[in-house]
Amino acid sequence: MGVAPAIQHRAVMEREVCALLLHNRGAIYVDCTLGGGGHTRALLPASPAPSVVIGIDRDPACIAAAQQWGSAWGVRFVPVHGDFRHLATLLAQLGYAQVDGLLFDLGVSSYQLDTPARGFSLRLDGPLDMRMDPTQAYTAAALVNQAPTEQLQTIFRTLGDERWARRIALAIVHERQRTPITRTAQLAELVARTIPRAAWPPRIHPATRIFLALRMAVNEELPALAAGLPQAVAVLRPGGRLGVMAFHSGEDQQVKTFLRQEARGCECPPQIPQCICGQQPRLRVVTRKPLTPSPDEMQDNPRSRSARLRVAEKLSV
């Protein structure tokens, strides 16, 4: 945890987030994925006092860093170690029944990627870990060395959209019978050997999709998002806004589907001519199409290139 106070983060679409989420009065905001605090550090000076930003993160290193850099903001900044799948409970414990804006910046942080000991990077050798919260027991090494072939294949195909999912799963099972797979470089090299050289994807390492899929599986990222989004809408005050930034097509599709359903309201089957469910729309979608970083931002910060930002506003029901 010694590196925590030095955590840096380049917030993606910082100006767009502030423009779409901020009110012109004192308000309560929640950064559900605090990370290095890039978005929070943009929201705090841009929002009028006595606005408060609550920063939630699963990674205790990010919270330890935030307690230091955030001390200058006093009571206007509240860092919380927790998982946004428990959003309503975390806010209730702080005494907040409703808030005025929420942001989910999904995926892994630059700090986690750039710290070899965390095991997220396939270019920096380290233990095969990938836990966003190091206090949880299940690691990527446990998954890789214990999961059956079929489970690995499903993870690689559904979360990584990996064409060679079965071949890679079989190679992993064969290799781990010879020796445990415990290092990121070990796994990256194994995947690279398994995929035919002519089929390597352009511009990215051949193991990129495998590492992405393992990280999402270890941290249960899609189930966490499915649990967190309805809670975000429930705690949002009418007129408040929800922003979600996704870097993975599966996450973005999940967000798109959720926002559309909340904006439609009625859940009756199409063959029923008149609504009988009585479900009213709870959101108005603000961004008809997801916002993406500008060409200048993508050039300046290549990690931003796959970002998609969707924003919706809570209606008075």
Q: Please report the sign of the dihedral spanned by the C-alpha atoms of residue 298, residue 10, residue 247, residue 111.
A: positive
* Band of pLDDT at residue 276, cut at 50, 70 and 90: confident
> What is the longest distance spanned by two Cα atoms in the chain?
62
**Counting Cβ atoms within 10 Å, is residue 38 exposed (0-12), middle (13-18) or buried (19+)?**
buried
pTM of the full predicted structure?
0.92
pLDDT score for 4? 46
> What's the rounded Cα separation, in Å, for the pair 10 and 67?
18
Identify the pLDDT of residue 156: 98
pLDDT of residue 266: 80
User: What percent of the chain stands above pLDDT 90?
Assistant: 87
DSSP label at residue 178: H
DSSP SS3 for 79: strand
Reading across the β-sheet that carries 77-81, which strands appear in turn?
A: 77-81, 52-57, 28-31, 99-105, 236-246, 308-314, 283-285
**Other beta carbons within 10 Å of 41:** 21
Q: Other C-beta atoms within 10 Å of 98: how many?
A: 13
How large is the average pLDDT for residues 290-295?
A: 96
CA distance 194 to 86: 39
Question: With contact defined as beta carbons under 8 Å apart, do 106 and 245 qualify?
Answer: yes
Decide if 12 contacts 297 (C-beta within 8 A). yes
pLDDT of residue 6: 56
Q: Which whole number is the average pLDDT over 244-253?
A: 96
Domains and CATH numbers, the chain: 4-111+221-314 (3.40.50.150), 134-218 (1.10.150.170)
pLDDT reported for residue 2: 41
**Whole-number Å distance between alpha carbons of 255 and 244:** 7
300 with 316: CB under 8 angstroms?
no
